[in-house]
């Protein structure tokens, strides 16, 4: 991880810029081309019919996307399902016949706006967990990003 600290921005009093870039390599289990399951279509319909807002901020703009929270589809073949069962006792395991039943369930999904889902600066698929979670709790008078508002908008 490349890390640069203490870059003072004279326009933001009381804050300093930390800039990081990271590169990682990780094996994914081989899998057939992804197809959307009927359960995932049902889960997405559930969230959209609720009129749900982004998990990070109720003020986000843009469409709501459904994020796989605990395990994404591409890693389903790498999961120890006994361990998952132990760590997630609140999931209705009576519905579990195969990985899809957990992966594409309401329980394993989270509604996010496009920015908090996939934006390189603030999306869950790109930034470390502490940098992503703070976006949910940041004060209104605090500036997180040098080139965007706290909702990831330029
Ligand atoms: Zn959002």
Question: For the residues 28-43, what does the mean pLDDT come to?
Answer: 93
Ligand 1 centroid to residue 151 C-alpha, Å: 6
Ligand 1 centroid to residue 96 C-alpha, Å: 30
Ligand 1 centroid to residue 116 C-alpha, Å: 5
57-97 pLDDT, tens digit per residue, is 888 887 999 999 999 999 999 999 999 999 999 999 999 99
Ligand 1 centroid to residue 146 C-alpha, Å: 18
**13-22, 42-51, 93-102, 124-133 — which is least confidently predicted?**
13-22
Mean pLDDT estimate for the chain: 90
Ligand 1 centroid to residue 40 C-alpha, Å: 21
Ligand 1 centroid to residue 112 C-alpha, Å: 5
Q: How far is CA 153 from CA 43, 134, 146, in A?
A: 27, 16, 11
Rounded Cα–Cα distance for residues 103 and 84 (Å): 11
For the entire predicted model, the pTM comes to 0.87
| pLDDT at site 6 | 60
| pLDDT at site 7 | 64
pLDDT at 17 over 90: no
Rounded Cα–Cα distance for residues 73 and 43 (Å): 14
Rounded Cα–Cα distance for residues 51 and 44 (Å): 11
Ligand 1 centroid to residue 41 C-alpha, Å: 21
Rounded Cα–Cα distance for residues 100 and 23 (Å): 29
Q: Are 113 and 60 in contact (CB under 8 A)?
A: yes
Ligand 1 centroid to residue 129 C-alpha, Å: 15
| pLDDT at site 9 | 63
Structure tokens at 60: 């986000």
The secondary structure of 77-139 as a DSSP string is GG--HHHHHHH-TTS-GGG-SSHHHHHTSSTTEEEEEHHHHH-TTT-TTTS-HHHHHHHHH--
């Amino acid at each position: 991880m490349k890390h640069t600290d203490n870059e003072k921005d004279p326009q933001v009093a009381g804050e300093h810029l930390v800039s990081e870039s990271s590169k990682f390599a990780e094996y994914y289990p081989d899998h057939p081309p992804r197809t959307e399951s009927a359960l995932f279509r049902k889960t997405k319909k559930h969230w959209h019919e609720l009129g749900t807002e982004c998990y990070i901020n109720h003020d986000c703009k843009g469409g709501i996307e459904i994020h796989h929270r605990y395990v994404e589809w591409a890693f389903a073949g790498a999961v120890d399902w006994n361990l998952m069962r132990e760590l997630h006792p609140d999931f209705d395991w009576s519905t579990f016949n195969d990985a899809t039943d957990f992966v594409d369930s309401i329980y394993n999904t989270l509604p996010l706006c496009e920015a908090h889902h996939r934006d390189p600066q603030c999306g869950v698929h790109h930034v470390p967990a502490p940098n992503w979670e703070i976006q949910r709790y940041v004060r209104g008078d605090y500036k997180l990003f040098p080139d965007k508002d706290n909702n990831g908008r330029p």
